[in-house]
Amino acid sequence: MKNHRMSALHHARRTRSIAIVIVVGLLAAACSSNEPSVAVDAEGPGPDTTEVPEPTAPVETAAPTTESTPTTTVPPATTTTALAQPDDPFIVNTDLGLVRGTTTAAPRVNAFLSIPFAAPPLGDNRFRAPQPHAAWADEFDATQPGASCPQPTEGVTAALTVIPPSDEDCLTLNVWTPDDADNFPVMVWIHGGGLTSGSAHQPYYIGDQLAARGVVLVSMNYRLGPLGFLTTDELIAEADGESFGNYGLADQVAALEWVQSNIAGFGGNPNQVTLFGESAGGFSICGHLASPQSDGLFQQAIIQSGGGCSRLADPDVASVSGETLLDSLGCVDIACARALPADVLGAAAFNAQLTADNVALTSPAIELAEDGAFPDVTVMTGFNADEATLFTLGNDEPDDAELRALVGAFTSDPEALLGLYPPADYETNLARYQAIWTDVTFGCPAIDFATTVPNTYTYHFTYVSAANPFGLGATHGAELAFVFGHPEGIIGLADAFDPESIDVSGAIQQAWVEFAATGSPGADWPSDDEAGRIMVLDNPFELVDTIRNNRCTTVTALAGGDLDD
């Protein structure tokens, strides 16, 4: 399978990534978990919506295949924290001081919310690497959700999703842990949002359901938009050979370092960490896979709708974008930008990207894989069947000429690309366009990556619940309610899953936790190197050899230029 990666496709992928960056700029406001929700209190999501197992016990859920249900094997309790811990399960001693948590809706799972992991990035710390947080003398109240990082208050994400109020003092994380956890696998969530929006404290990211299956779950905030990803010539000079522009990624590294120092106190194993994230969270993981600053901080990764780990902005291009932003804000230097109100910067239109700074990031992760330099990390990656329907919500039906023009944004040969999507297979031109967009932007890059990186597990999420909000199908972010088990608050869905959706959610949660615990999502789910390489996540799960009409090799070539490039 890997032999298909010919030099022409390599060139096509590189060229296509430039076009994708343009497209992503249009999607940035929407590329988060994109399913509306409402706020919940600190103690949990309200009414139980799934059957939550007792923590650490083997879990019976819908099987990932039609044959058997794997159970999570929790490693033996051999690791103890270096810090003395109180007997009270709601108090944990960290390297900055004591934190007090609270109960959750899941039985015997406790939550520790909005714990600072870095100093507030204010004043001179704005547009700089995260700095250490001062210790606290008194017990820290970790019972309430915290602030989001500054971000736009308008756009798709803001319209569809309740996001907690923002504050520049936002570098905090959450921990959900079974009250008897001891050396459990750790899962660390990175939220999506196009690197411009979203929050670890959004209600549908509550981690109690996954923690109840035998893991310690962490989620973190990171700086967004220009506050997290601004590059200018002045910032490059100010960095003086150190990393620049990737401040949000550096925040994520600081959170992972906090995990290494403190997670044992919450019952987690710092040597068994799985990163997982969706959309911008997924391509943040791509950055960690490529960054030496993240070496050793995690052992496994789940990339949900994160593309093909091939996107990395040129610093000169990123600097021009940054200077344009400063001009639009009336600033001639960084001192002016550091003095602006955070909400002004957070709301500014900005195409946030990971930038090749030649320190944290030099080459995309897929190029490291091609060069045999990929880190020793086991990966699961995948995408949803109808990713693009979210981004075309409300679009008019294009006529044939308009469709060719739209597809021309992806390729120099729109007729050839359209030829892979026969009109007879689709009810409308808009549906054809959505399928092409899904393949070019999400699906084929993910398959390209999976066939390049050794020992990678691949999934394709196709399940559509009976509710099917807005008629969008398995759209971008649709899997999130099933991964976290929290459908309540999502427009168009009831407060509780129907029985079939409970089964699907249980099967997905089981596979994710099994992967975190063992490095494999299940005995019946082989890696991409083995026969039957893709697991279709539906009811039931189905192992298949190919998806998307096996057209991705041709799509990749066409979306990067001519087939004979």
Which one from 279, 284, 465, 505 is the annotated catalytic residue? 279
State how far the Cα of 208 lies from the Cα of 190, in Å rounded to an integer.
16
Backbone angles phi, psi at 111, to 5 degrees: -120, 140
Structure tokens at 286: 């791509």
Residues 6+ apart with CB under 8 A from 148: 163, 164, 165, 166, 167, 170, 198, 199, 201, 221
- The residue assigned the tokens 């750790």 is 186
Which one from 476, 479, 514, 527 is the annotated catalytic residue? 476
Dihedral of alpha carbons 469, 474, 480, 485, sign: positive
State how far the Cα of 294 lies from the Cα of 250, in Å rounded to an integer.
9
* Residue 476 annotated in active site: yes
* Residue 402 annotated in active site: no
Structure tokens at 536: 């279709």
Which one from 367, 387, 488, 514 is the annotated catalytic residue? 387
State how far the Cα of 401 lies from the Cα of 266, in Å rounded to an integer.
59
Selection from 130, 153, 293 nearest residue 220 by Cα: 130
Contact 1, 453 (CB under 8 A): no
Report the 10 Å Cβ neighbour count for 128: 18
State how far the Cα of 201 lies from the Cα of 353, in Å rounded to an integer.
22
Bridge-partner residues for 379, per DSSP?
Answer: 301, 456
* Residue 133 annotated in active site: no
State how far the Cα of 461 lies from the Cα of 441, in Å rounded to an integer.
16
Phi-psi region of 127 (alpha: psi -120 to 50; beta: other; left: phi over 0): left
- N residues, the chain: 565
Q: What residues act catalytically?
A: 279, 387, 476
